[in-house]
Amino acid sequence: MSLTLPRNYLLAIYLLLGVAALLPLTMVDIPALVDYPNHLARMHVIAQNGTNQLLASNYQVAWSATPNLAMDLILPPLTQIFSVTTLGRLFIALTMISLVTGTLVLHRTLHGSIGLWPMATYLFLYNHLLIMGFLNYLFSIGVALMLFAAWIASDRWAAWIRWTLFPLALAALFFSHIFALGIYGVCVSTYEIARAWPSLRTEWRSLPRRWAVVAWQFLPAAGLVLATMPDSGSGGFIYGPLMSKVRAIWSPTLTYITPTDAGIFLFVVAILVGGLATRRLVLCHAVRFPLVVLTVLAAAMPFWTEGAWGITAFMDLRLPLFIALLLMAGLRPHNISARVAISVICAAAVLMSARLIDTSLEWRKIDGQYAEFRDALQFIEPGASILPAQTQDSPRREGETRFDYLYWHLPVLAVLDRSAFVPTMFTDPAKQPVRAAPARVAMDTDFGAPIKIDLLVDSARGGNMVAGGLGMKPFWRDWPRRYDYVVITHFGTPENPLPDLLTLEHEGSYFSIYRVLNKDGS
């Protein structure tokens, strides 16, 4: 841009934007992220390992070399200093810092300086992956961006540094999140292919040595993958409906489906299309081929997969955000007047302000609801077993907005507060170090969500209905004999579906806690 600022001013602006971006985290105890209550409960189980007998009767910790451990390794040791909820918010902040830092470092490596353009990265901090609670992945792709920048910058480093540093870094990235490791692999390999192609005929003798260095860095991580890969069992994938692909394209700026989401998306698309068409935005050659390959992979990505690393849903959401961040790092404004630059910056500032206001209001509302539920957990006996159910497609009050996924893992907060057993706690041995205790294994599922009310009723009557969620084990089977409580999230339309089996313990504004009656009615 023609508009330039001194380095100290730029630093101050970036710091100010960073503080502003983190403000919503300071206003709540539990941010409204879908998987987040489950993550908090898992951190609590790991931190309490062996010291809480009630909790140990429901869950155990079994460490193994699984490729999804960023939070699990970083947070539990710090619970001696901070509460789990505080640490969770700190990790979200660290994740946002990772995404911004990775993009800025790569931009600096590619272009030699950091100007005003990379500030656009802040528009992508609140995205659908964050709202879904995919924190390990988000943190790890920030690290992957930093490592990609380090690979490019290290081209002239001493060979022994590359041969030592990158294998260790990629082994660590494997433990952080395997998908981020794969993305880094795509970036480096396509970058090296594009770099070697123009001189393939004249410098082909040097290629084996160079590619030996490229391949060497992946050997420890590849060894970890092969050594720790679980039995694949059954495998398969579901590509997903057209709407899931639309959501994937929108996901870098999508939160709770608000007008601000649409405004930021349209603004970003307009700037990119207009800038590239008029050549006011120039894309660095180093990232062109990586972007092409990643875009093709994003289009081919299925919605749901099952394989060696267990069940993974929302696969098609993973790459678009990384592509957006890679674009922010690879693009550079060219020959733009100060007037145009100021106009774009002002529009972006308005949109970011709207984003922070929307997010803060939504988080405050949901945090109040989470707090109400946590207060009501006093009606549940410590160490009890809880079956989660949820009213699907319930009517909304006029003018009400609701993101129903946010209540999927609400009952798991009972693990944190009452040492309870909840079958939808994340216990996939291919991904997490937490397992159901032996006495609870038959009631557990690696991957799950609350069941529908009709399934709750059908199972109590001996029916054979199955859940709509893909890959869930039948944790609801024979529930009147196995479970102590049923928590129904009804969104303000309470109704006891089985009065002969359930007695109301507490009625909340949007949920009910029922005790399961024994056959003698007690």
Is the same domain home to 464 and 509? yes
In a domain, 345, yes or no: no
**What is the pLDDT at residue 234?**
63
Is the same domain home to 458 and 429? yes
Is the same domain home to 298 and 239? yes
Task: State yes or no: pLDDT of 96 exceeds 90.
Answer: yes
Is the same domain home to 297 and 202? yes
Residue range(s) defining the domain that contains residue 120 = 76-336
Least confident among 47-51, 228-232, 514-518: 228-232
Mean pLDDT over 494-504 rounds to: 96
Is the same domain home to 437 and 292? no
Report the phi/psi class of residue 424: left, alpha or beta, with left for phi > 0 and alpha for psi in -120 to 50: alpha
- The contacts of residue 247 (CB under 8 Å, 6+ apart) are 128, 254, 317
Is the same domain home to 93 and 218? yes
Overall number of domains in the chain: 2
Is the same domain home to 211 and 240? yes
**What is the pLDDT at residue 520?**
45
In a domain, 351, yes or no: no
What percentage of the chain carries pLDDT values higher than 90? 78
In a domain, 104, yes or no: yes
Mean pLDDT over 286-297 rounds to: 97
The DSSP bridge pattern shows strands 511-516 and 434-436 to be unpaired
> Which is more confidently placed, 238 or 109?
109
- Kindly state the helix (H) or strand (E) to which residue 306 belongs, with its residue range: strand 304-307
Least confident among 175-184, 205-214, 331-340: 205-214
Identify the CA nearest to 488 among candidates 497, 479, 476, 500: 497
Is the same domain home to 51 and 88? no
Mean pLDDT over 168-175 rounds to: 97
Q: Tell me the whole-structure pTM to 2 decimals.
A: 0.95
- Encoded amino acid at 136, one letter: N
In a domain, 347, yes or no: no
Identify the CA nearest to 299 among candidates 288, 315, 276, 286: 315
**Confidence band of 1 (pLDDT split at 50, 70, 90):** very low
**Confidence band of 202 (pLDDT split at 50, 70, 90):** low
Is the same domain home to 326 and 446? no
In a domain, 69, yes or no: no
Is the same domain home to 84 and 186? yes
Mean pLDDT over 461-483 rounds to: 86
Distance separating alpha carbons of residues 330 and 109, to the nearest angstrom: 10
**Confidence band of 148 (pLDDT split at 50, 70, 90):** very high
Identify the CA nearest to 440 among candidates 72, 68, 54, 46: 54
> pLDDT for 36-87, tens place per residue?
999 999 999 999 998 999 999 999 999 999 999 999 999 999 999 999 999 9
